[in-house]
Amino acid sequence: MADAKPTEVVPLTSPDATNKPDEAPQKTEPSGGAVLPLTQEPEEAPVEQKTEGAVNALPLTSSEATKEPEGEPTKVEPGAALPLTSGAADSHDGWPTLTAEHPLSKFVVELPTLVKEADYNEVWGVHLASDNSFQTKLILQKFLRANQNDLSKAKDQLLKTLKWRKEFQPLKTIEEVFDKSKFGGLGYILDLSDVPEDGKAVVTFNLYGAVKDNKKTFGVLDEFIRWRVSLMELSLQKLSLSTATTPIPDWNTGRDPYQAYQVHDYMSVSFLRQDPLVKAAVKATVDTFSAYYPETLSRKFFINVPAVMGWMFTAAKMLLSKETVRKFTVLSSGSTLVSELGPDVPEQYGGKGKSLEEAGTGPKMDDKTEVAVTTE
């Protein structure tokens, strides 16, 4: 394996799964610097910004969502039409009563057509059904919120998501075993308590400085994306969408309580190189998560970012909507993260918690030894 060297900036996590599906994710590529993809989540109320230790700190929002499967939800035979509802959401599932004209009511009615066309009905471990089930509404509401209640766009994004999930089979990545020499130490998931505003939160940490060999980590793009999707699906499991009982408010009326945080740690990362392999991985990651994981991420922290690079975020801020910008916080020192996420973060981030290696979870890893083939 090549000698360890500074790695360039690589967004190993979702860009923020809230980009509008019909819009390409916006990126800024200042000369000599790698891109940090910033994307959009329109409806969250801004969270008060902490300025201590921050570089151009941007106000953020709160948490994200998904399920912890405890058994398979009722499955619909692929291609089978689902029974249509009356159009009104006056079910007794705990969701507030909706009029027949409400976008969510219409979405439920049109769901069978989408499921039949995609020949698939699972999203983030929840199997969609048109029986007005609470969990189905939960998923559909996320797609509506991501598209500002535009039903046509929400339907299009859901259909594309269902087709992609049928082909890619992201749930299977949870059981896949990845090469530790390629992906070990790059990503961890922590369950934190005493988080300001939310109390508890699921947080994914992405350690870009842990990449030792760009060719080894990013050389096989599909393998990298499957590892990255595995990390995302595992974090979504912890949000327990399949057992959720609190409705998600309509777009622009309140916070989605089922969302997660992300931390992007750039310690020991070079901002000066742009390896083509890394750029391809960045693009594939951004495209995947902006298209197929709407409303799953809320707050994003960029930490250990050199002060001189703060201008990159400022430049990006000028190109993005205020709804997108308010989600991001940039911290020049990782030790100040404790003020944002509470005392349970590891000591390296200013808290009293165990290290990421001790407390964090992630995709399955295995030491794979390359066997040299010799000929006589």
Is the pLDDT at 58 greater than 80? The verdict is no
User: What would the pLDDT profile of 334-350 be if each residue is shown by its tens digit?
Assistant: 999 999 999 999 999 99
User: What would the pLDDT profile of 155-204 be if each residue is shown by its tens digit?
Assistant: 999 999 999 999 999 999 999 999 999 999 999 999 999 999 889 999 99
- Domain count for the chain: 1
Residue 232 maps to a domain: yes
Question: Rounded to whole angstroms, how far apart are CA atoms 304 and 269?
Answer: 9
User: What would the pLDDT profile of 25-45 be if each residue is shown by its tens digit?
Assistant: 443 333 333 334 433 333 333
The boundaries of the domain holding residue 18 are 7-68+175-366
pLDDT value of position 94: 86
Residue 157 maps to a domain: no
CATH number of the domain encompassing residue 276? 3.40.525.10
Residue 84 maps to a domain: no
Residue 135 maps to a domain: no
Residue 165 maps to a domain: no
Residue 333 maps to a domain: yes
Residue 121 maps to a domain: no
pLDDT value of position 132: 65
Residue 26 maps to a domain: yes
